[in-house]
Amino acid sequence: MDDGIASAPSLVDHVIPASTAAHLDASTASNSRTCSKPAAVRSALSAAGRVLFDRSRERKKIVNDADRLRKYLARFDLEWGELRERFRQN
C-alpha cells in the first residue's frame, strides 16, 4: 500500500531554511527527514503524531501526540500550519 510517505519531501531538504539546516548534527538531520515524511501526508497534527510516536505513545499515561509533534517542530522554529504550507509548495 502506497500512503505517499516514501515519496514525500523531507523537512530538512524543503522546509528548514538552508542556514538552519547547515548547523544540524547528522543525527538530527536524519531524524527530521524520517519524521517529516508522515507529517507531509497527514492532514492533522494528531494523525501525524500518532504515526511518528506509534511505539512510545503506548508507554505514556497521557497520550498527546499533537503536543509532542508541536514541540518537536518548535525546535526548528516551525508550526504545523507553516509546515503543511511549505510541503504543499514543494
Q: What is the pLDDT along the chain (90 residues), one digit of tens a residue?
A: 344 444 445 666 667 777 777 888 888 877 777 776 666 678 888 988 888 888 888 888 888 989 998 998 888 878 888 877 777 776
Helix then strand then coil, % of the chain, to nearest 5 = 60, 0, 40
Q: Could you tell me the sign of the dihedral formed by the alpha carbons of 17, 67, 71, 34, in that order?
A: negative
**Which amino acid, residue 15?**
V
